[in-house]
Structure 1
C-alpha cells in the first residue's frame, strides 16, 4: 500500500479545483483543526471534505482532472462517506450532506442519519496562509470524540480546546 500524504499545497490545489467547478467544499478533520489553529501542527494522510450531495457530479469532474478518481474501499464506507484517491499520494475522505428545509444539514441515511446545524460548517481558518472554510472549532472537537481516541485526536483536541476556550472532553483529560 502506498503512503498517503496530503501537503498543504496539495490540499489547496484540490480546494481551488473544486471551487473552479462550483463545488462548495468545507474542510474537515485534521486539516480543519490546523486551519482553525492557523498553522500546520502535524502531518496529514488525507483531506476530509464536507460537500453538499448535489455537488457530487462537479466534484467527480474536478477530481477526475486531478487524477483523484479511484474509490479507496474502507470498512464502514457508505454512499454519504467514502474515500477517493489518485493511487499515489492524494486521498480525500468525502462527507456528503443535504440541506434541510429548516436550514440544518443532514448527514447519513434516512433511517440512521443525523441533522446538525449549518453553523457547524461555518468556521474559517488558514492553510499555508490561504483562507479556507472549515468546521467550527466546537464541531471539530465534537467530531474528534464519540469513539476511542487515536493519537491524532489526542494531539488535535487539546490544541483546539486551549485556543478556543472549549472545555476539554472528559475522555481527553489526563
Structure 2
C-alpha cells in the first residue's frame, strides 16, 4: 500500500531531482478532496516525457526497480518495501487532435486531454499538482468499474459539481420516468420526467446521450435517482461544469480554495 507518507517521500525525492510531477489515479482524486478516502495500492503519477529518463535514474538511485513495462510512456516501479509507483509520460509541448476530435497532448507521450493536468490539491496539507476534477471523473469510464471507482466518481461529482455522463436506457413517456445507463457508475440511475432540464422540456429518447446529477434515493429498485438530466443538444446554464472534463477548467481545482465546510 502507498500511504500519504510514502506519497510525500516520492514527491520529495523527485522534487530534489527537479522532476515535475502530477498526481493521477486514486491519489490524484484524494489530493483534490484534500483527504485520504481509502487505501491505495500504488501511486499513479504523470511526468514530462522529456524527463522520463531522468525520473528513471532518480528512482533507481533510491532503490526502485522495474516491475512492469506497459510501453515507452508507462511503467511500474517497486522498491524493497513494496511501494509501487506507476508513471505516465506526457508531451506537454505539442498538441494534436485525436480520432474523436478532442485536443490532446503530443504523440511523444500518452494522449492526456489538453488542460487536464491543471488541477491542484493537497496531501497531508502539502499542495500538489494533479489532474482536474473533470478529468479524473471522465477517466472513470470505458471499463468495468468497482466500488472504489464509484466512490471516487461520486466524491468528485458532489464536491465539485462535475456532471455524470450516460445514455437513456429506457424511457416510459406515458408513465413519465426512465432509466439512465450511467457511464461513471456501477448501477443504472432512475429518472423522473421532472428532472429533465433545459429552457423547454424535451422528452428523452432511448439511446440519447445525457449528462446528469444524482442523489442517493431508493426508487423503483434503483439505488440512485437523477436530480437534473441534460439531454444531448440542450444547453447547460453558464458556469456548469463541462461533462467531458477535457479543456474546461474554469471551476477552481484547488480544494484548499473551497469554503471551509467543503474542504473538511
Q: TM-score, normalising length from structure 1?
A: 0.85
Q: Give the aligned partner of residue 86 of structure 1.
A: 79
Conservation of the 8 A alpha-carbon contact between 1:15 and 1:25? yes
Conservation of the 8 A alpha-carbon contact between 1:46 and 1:91? yes
Q: Give the aligned partner of residue 260 of structure 2.
A: none
Q: Give the aligned partner of residue 114 of structure 1.
A: 111
Q: Give the aligned partner of residue 73 of structure 1.
A: 68
Matched positions, count: 163
- Displacement of 1:147: 1.2
Correspondent of 2:90 among 89, 97, 106:
97
Q: Which has the higher contact order (CA 8 A, sep 6+)?
A: 1
- Displacement of 1:84: 0.7
Deviations 1:39-80 (A, max 9, x none): 000001111001111111221232123212x21127xx1111
Q: Give the aligned partner of residue 164 of structure 1.
A: 160
Distance 1:107 1:41, change over 3 A: farther
Conservation of the 8 A alpha-carbon contact between 1:80 and 1:107? no
Q: Mind listing any 5+ residue stretches in structure 1 that lack a counterpart?
A: none
Deviations 1:6-42 (A, max 9, x none): 0101101101111111111100000010000010000
CA distance in 1, matches of 2:92, 2:54: 18
Q: Which SS does the other structure have where 1:121 is aligned?
A: coil
Pairwise CA RMSD of aligned residues?
2.0
Q: TM-score, normalising length from structure 2?
A: 0.57
Q: Mind listing any 5+ residue stretches in structure 2 that lack a counterpart?
A: 97-103, 166-181, 190-223, 225-264
- Displacement of 1:115: 5.5
Greater CA drift, 98-107 or 84-93? 98-107
Give 1 or 2 for the bigger CA radius of gyration. 2
Runs of 4+ in 1 over 4 A off after TM superposition: none
CA distance in 2, matches of 1:43, 1:102: 35
CA distance in 1, matches of 2:131, 2:33: 12
Distance 1:114 1:59, change over 3 A: closer
Conservation of the 8 A alpha-carbon contact between 1:96 and 1:107? no
- Displacement of 1:108: 7.2
Greater CA drift, 42-51 or 138-147? 138-147
Alignment pair present for 1:60 and 2:60: no
